[in-house]
Amino acid sequence: MEIKKNVKAVLFDMDGVLLDSEEYICKAGVEMFKEKGYAVEPEDFVEFTGMGENRYLGGIAEKHNIPFELEKDKARTYEIYAGLVKGKLSLLPGAREFISHCLDRGLKIALASSADRIKIEINLEETGITQDTFHTIVSGLDIEHKKPAPDVFLKAAENLGVDPSKCLVVEDAISGVAAGKAARSRVLALTTSFTAEELSRADWIAGTLADAGDEVLNW
């Protein structure tokens, strides 16, 4: 007799889960601020990781008292970013296989990222994943409150028609783990951006999706 599982859907964060573009968005941000006449360091961005580009860039501007025009400066950052990642992004180990495994099991899958839609589209195109791979895609522009608020995962679950408590959230950031737990979902955290100790609120912790055990989908 088939054992009925509680998990019905998997909600994937993007950066640090399916691919790693952190280096490039950081470089793009540094270059954008340099063009404005201000020097910032890559380390400055760490505390804003996973919070979406509004906060990722805006937090730096606030921290260093830099005049900031959100839409204009963000657009320029994405322009620089698109050039930097051309031909350089690839899926992290196990990402493609894990997605296929979820679909083979009949699970619904969502891409739920704090990033803007334009960054999601650039990243998916560069890694060769079509947007229709996912049953829904939720970007940072689709929600009011960014991580660590649960909005992005609640919206993704709503779009899928699945109770958040029956969703597995896959994250790499401290703010993302907090968001997943606030959504009442179970959370698999990957140590691609932070240490296992920093991600200790998660239900499971693995290096990449290639290392995730069967138990993350068997509950």
CATH class of 9-20+90-217: alpha beta
Q: What is the pLDDT of residue 5?
A: 80
In 134-213, at which residue ranges do the beta strands (DSSP E only) sit?
136-138, 167-171, 186-190, 204-206
Mean per-residue pLDDT over the chain, rounded: 95
Q: What is the pLDDT of residue 192?
A: 95
Asked whether residue 105 carries a pLDDT value surpassing 80, the answer given is yes
Q: Tell me the mean pLDDT in the region 94-119.
A: 96
Backbone conformation region of residue 50, classed left if phi is above 0, alpha if psi is from -120 to 50, else beta: left
Q: What is the pLDDT of residue 1?
A: 39
Is 13 among the residues known to form the active site? yes
Q: What is the pLDDT of residue 51?
A: 83
Is 15 among the residues known to form the active site? yes
Asked whether residue 79 carries a pLDDT value surpassing 60, the answer given is yes
Q: What is the pLDDT of residue 150?
A: 98
Q: Tell me the mean pLDDT in the region 130-142.
A: 96
CA angle, 212 then 27 then 53, to 5°:
70
